[in-house]
Structure 1
Amino acid sequence: MNRRHFIKNLSMVAGSSLAMAPNMQALAKIVEPTPPLSSKAQFARSLKKNPGLIGFANITENFALTGLTIEGRMPDDLSGTFYRIGPAGHERGDLRYQHLFEGDGMLHSFHFSGGKIFHQGKFINTPKFAKEKQAGKFIYSGPDTKISGARAVHHADEINSSNTNVISVGDKLWTLWEAGSPMQVNPQTLDSSHWVNLGQNSPFEQSLKGMPFSAHPKVDPGGDIFNFGLNGNGQAVLYHLSANGRMKNAAVVNAGYRGMLHDFLITHKHILLILPSLSPNGAGKGFFQRTRFEKEQPMRVLVIDKAELTIKKGYQLPPGFAFHFGNAWEERDGTIHFDASLYPDDSSLHNLSAVMKGQVNKHTSRSQTVLYTLKAKGGFTQQYIDGDSEFPKVYDHLVGHRNRLLYTTGHKHNPLWADSIRKLNTDTGAVDEYYYGEDYLVEEHVITTNKADEGSGYLLGTALHLPSKRTCINLFQADNLSQGPIMRAWLPYHIPLGFHGNFQRS
């Protein structure tokens, strides 16, 4: 695609990309207020009865640098920083956000060095956060929460909460949202700096400024970064960046999709946009409220050439919805394999609204690992794996290449959040898992190793211990989860339940 044609298409995209809805600007002008104290009062009452909701309670201050109490022995080969991010600012004044995805982002770091671990956490100081902190109230409507007298939204970064993921780019950190720019953050102090202009120091210059940049970029084994940004008009921007964040290539493709898309995949040759069976045409005024599962709508896969950033072919799969995918790889003849943590409907999305009111739905649909094969000449096969699964992870050196092991979280007994972790061998079906117990809410775990060897190293993740109201960080041998954590370290407090994170070795 030549640059003039790309910029022309991009101008069409920019006009429709005001946030996580087909027309966020219009949504932001809706001034019907949330009933006074409604969600906030409901949540406060429920929290007294259900201590598990503490992970969704409002946080008002940063966490100063604090040492953890370590149980067990830290391995000598573990050195670096574990970064985690998620929504933490859920309330201001009398109002509480209606959906978990709306909260102001907070970045956490757990620094491992010399046998010690130190934690700190800071709010991402976005323009939205800074203005609302000064005002002492919400001044912008969110995707679902409509604020009386809210300020108009002119571009997505005005309401970018930077609350979903964090990745290392060169010697900097980028915190990510779904529909706006990355925020550049200092890896040591966690101080926010500025919105990243994705086209800076590249031929794209200012043409990518403020464009949607999804929260799940994929880093191939060579270090290059691929990502997408979905827009309300059905188009998607595709990105190819170097390891230091310089834009190598970008293009616009017509995905023909106006639902919610959170994640994607790459192989060594292709980008896969996997479009779930969602539409924005349901009841309700908010974006998530209106998002609905279409049981007759196929889940589509667009196969896109990584070098040219053009669509090569498409597949239709049975209806389904997935927040997250683990990995994809392809054979020499073009056959593509990928996995998904697949839900049968959208109840999990709407449950993240209910929990903000303190409602715990014990009957929310669970996701399970599904292994797909897309045949080179058309058609597909699928294999369902028993057991719940979410937040799938593979080894970094195998992103886009064949993997055998898939690490996920899971539910056994806790209806609110994950309570277990699992390792699945996709070749043999063998499962190795560890159940934390009903007293823990378990977050995404990540793989850390200094070897290009699948099964080596450690699995690392946080969990909220409900009886003590403390967060702990847990370290497992990656090849033997069932033996339990070989080290556990405790904070003297809890931190809010988050979404994603990564470990940066030093």
Structure 2
Amino acid sequence: MTDYRAGFDTLDAEVAAALPVRGRLPDWLAGTLVRNGPAVFEHGGRSLRHWFDGQAMLHRFAIGDGGVRYTNRLLDTPSLRSLRERGRIGYTEFATDPCGSLFGRFFSRFHRRPSANACVNVTTVGGEPAAVSEVPLAVTFDPRTLDTLGVTDYSAGIDGTLTTAHPHALPDGGDLVNYVLRFGRHSEYQFYRRPPSAAAGEVIGRYRTEKPGYVHSFAVTRRHIVLAVFPLVVNPLSFLLRGRPFIENYAWRPEEGLRVVVLDAAGGGVVAEHTAPAAFAFHHINAYDDGDTVVMDLCAFDDAAIVSALYVDALRAGRPVPVSWATRYTVPLGAGEVTVRRLSDEPFELPRIHYGAHNGRPYRYAYGVGAADPTGANFLDQLVKLDVTTGRTTVWRAEGGYPGEPVFVPAPTAAAEDDGVVLSVVLDARRGASTLVVLDGATFTELARADVPHVIPFGFHGQFARQEH
């Protein structure tokens, strides 16, 4: 077993360099992959507690003419400046509270400031490239240099405290859809749609609940929005009264079950609500309409222990990390029960699909990261291609390799769903640095790799943009 823990070390070096390429890149592959993730976990004696708290860094891989050029930049945010220039944690993060003392908590109780540390994903806000997280603040950046341009509103003008870093493009029309969660006695998930270049959105559906759950993503179909509310729930008063970091106010309540809520994407409100056996997930794989049911596929954990397992101290100590499984929920739009079945026995997380053609529609293939040891003792050490119709999996592994999210890029003339390539940033623990690996989407064999001069800390999500001709 090799040591993956270098993927949780701080990186603050910024470089721009042409990368040596081994193998052959497809002639048609031209564009830019921008990935996002945490990179700074401590500075000046101050430490951030959770993987999700690390300060954001963007990584750009410009691919074309058989070569790859790499650039990385830290996002220049108020939270990073507070840490580096003033030597203090100035903003509330996922599991780090700047008000460590009772005295500090008392005076900050009613005006804690959410962090603009947008370390989760990249998208567009008002037509501009932006890094985003789970608070309604986005950080815009220059897509060529990765220079930070500013902090902007990510709520589409809708009042609330939380959102997701996983907005969707509606399958028909392409409007962006997301939600903003407003806490209160009756908390409300407010779903909105917004044209891609618009700054404001229109609320198209609401789901009210006394027990809001921690929800990292959701799904859409051609006719519906699908919300899974896991029984990791919070009483909103806890944020005011308990003085704990954000996620530590949530409690696992399996007796509540998994609430599956289906809303009309055209704005007709809730059309179905069911309770399934308790489970937890960060990521939806996909969803689609199937007659009088909705099919919802999740990377499902048995419980929410994964949240605690991702504290930095635990990860650096090499403690096992729980794994998730591709799991299908068939949800009736009328009366009846949700049926649940595991799609394969291969651990599966950070899922991607051929998004443009199959998001919200029936599909066959999904790509994710997995673990050869299902106990999670060696973290995430393989890439997995899953056929959701048969359960068959194809695995790519490399000795000492720890891959990140696989991004599928379809070929320009793709005739099949898996006709394209898969891009993944892999920690090569033997070399002591990271590499961009390019796999054939159909055969799942390696085509090429481009070696980065340093370790890229394990990140979360990224997007590929084709080069415009």
Q: Which bin holds the TM-score, normalised by the shorter protein? A: 0.7 to 0.9
- RMSD between aligned residues: 2.6
Aligned residue number for residue 172 of structure 1:
128
Deviation for aligned residue 1:102: 1.2
Matched, 1:163 2:125: no
Aligned residue number for residue 403 of structure 1:
363
Secondary structure at the aligned position of 1:88 is classed as: strand
Candidates 138, 141, 147, aligned match of 1:185? 141
In the TM superposition, what are the counterparts of 1:117-156 in structure 2 within 5 Å? 117-147=68-98, 148=100, 152=108
Candidates 411, 431, 434, aligned match of 1:468? 431
Change in Cα spacing, 1:424 to 1:344, as seen in structure 2 (3 Å) is same
In the TM superposition, what are the counterparts of 1:454-493 in structure 2 within 5 Å? 454-481=417-444, 484-493=445-454
In the TM superposition, what are the counterparts of 1:81-480 in structure 2 within 5 Å? 81-147=32-98, 148=100, 152=108, 158-168=114-124, 172-197=128-153, 207-208=157-158, 212-221=162-171, 222-233=173-184, 234-250=187-203, 252-280=206-234, 285-308=244-267, 310-331=269-290, 333-353=291-311, 355=313, 358-362=316-320, 364-378=321-335, 379-384=337-342, 385-396=344-355, 397-413=357-373, 415-437=377-399, 439-449=400-410, 450-451=412-413, 453-480=416-443
More deviation, 283-292/63-72: 283-292
Secondary structure at the aligned position of 1:349 is classed as: helix
Cα distance in structure 2, aligned partners of 1:177 and 1:154: 22
User: 1:445·1:461 contact (CA, 8 Å) conserved in 2?
Assistant: yes
Please list every run of 5 or more consecutive structure 2 residues that lacks an aligned counterpart in the other structure. none
TM-score by length of 2: 0.88
TM-score by length of 1: 0.82
Matched, 1:501 2:462: yes
Deviation for aligned residue 1:74: 1.2
Residue 372 of structure 1 aligns to which amino acid in structure 2? Y
User: 1:86·1:105 contact (CA, 8 Å) conserved in 2?
Assistant: yes
User: 2:221·2:289 contact (CA, 8 Å) conserved in 1?
Assistant: yes
User: 1:69·1:490 contact (CA, 8 Å) conserved in 2?
Assistant: yes
User: 2:160·2:181 contact (CA, 8 Å) conserved in 1?
Assistant: no
Residue 308 of structure 1 aligns to which amino acid in structure 2? G
Q: How many residues align?
A: 446
Cα distance in structure 2, aligned partners of 1:170 and 1:110: 24
Residue 349 of structure 2 aligns to which amino acid in structure 1? E
Cα distance in structure 2, aligned partners of 1:376 and 1:259: 22
User: 1:98·1:356 contact (CA, 8 Å) conserved in 2?
Assistant: no
Percentage of matched positions with identical amino acids: 25
Deviation for aligned residue 1:66: 1.2
Candidates 12, 23, 37, aligned match of 1:60? 12
User: 2:116·2:151 contact (CA, 8 Å) conserved in 1?
Assistant: no
Per-residue CA deviation, residues 455-478 of structure 1 (Å, 9 max, x unaligned), is 111111111011221101111111
User: 1:128·1:158 contact (CA, 8 Å) conserved in 2?
Assistant: no
Cα distance in structure 2, aligned partners of 1:405 and 1:357: 30
Deviation for aligned residue 1:215: 0.5
Secondary structure at the aligned position of 1:296 is classed as: helix
Per-residue CA deviation, residues 356-392 of structure 1 (Å, 9 max, x unaligned), is 5732223x43211111111233322121121101011
Deviation for aligned residue 1:162: 0.6
Change in Cα spacing, 1:380 to 1:357, as seen in structure 2 (3 Å) is closer
Change in Cα spacing, 1:167 to 1:254, as seen in structure 2 (3 Å) is same
Residue 494 of structure 1 aligns to which amino acid in structure 2? V
Cα distance in structure 2, aligned partners of 1:124 and 1:224: 27
Deviation for aligned residue 1:172: 2.6
Cα distance in structure 1, aligned partners of 2:268 and 2:191: 7
More deviation, 230-239/65-74: 230-239
Residue 163 of structure 2 aligns to which amino acid in structure 1? F
Cα distance in structure 2, aligned partners of 1:459 and 1:220: 23
Q: Which has the higher helix share?
A: 1
Change in Cα spacing, 1:75 to 1:155, as seen in structure 2 (3 Å) is farther
User: 1:295·1:319 contact (CA, 8 Å) conserved in 2?
Assistant: yes
Secondary structure at the aligned position of 1:187 is classed as: coil
Change in Cα spacing, 1:229 to 1:278, as seen in structure 2 (3 Å) is same
Deviation for aligned residue 1:117: 0.6
Per-residue CA deviation, residues 278-334 of structure 1 (Å, 9 max, x unaligned), is 123799933333433323221011111112162222111110001111100002x33
Per-residue CA deviation, residues 334-375 of structure 1 (Å, 9 max, x unaligned), is 31111111100112111111545732223x432111111112
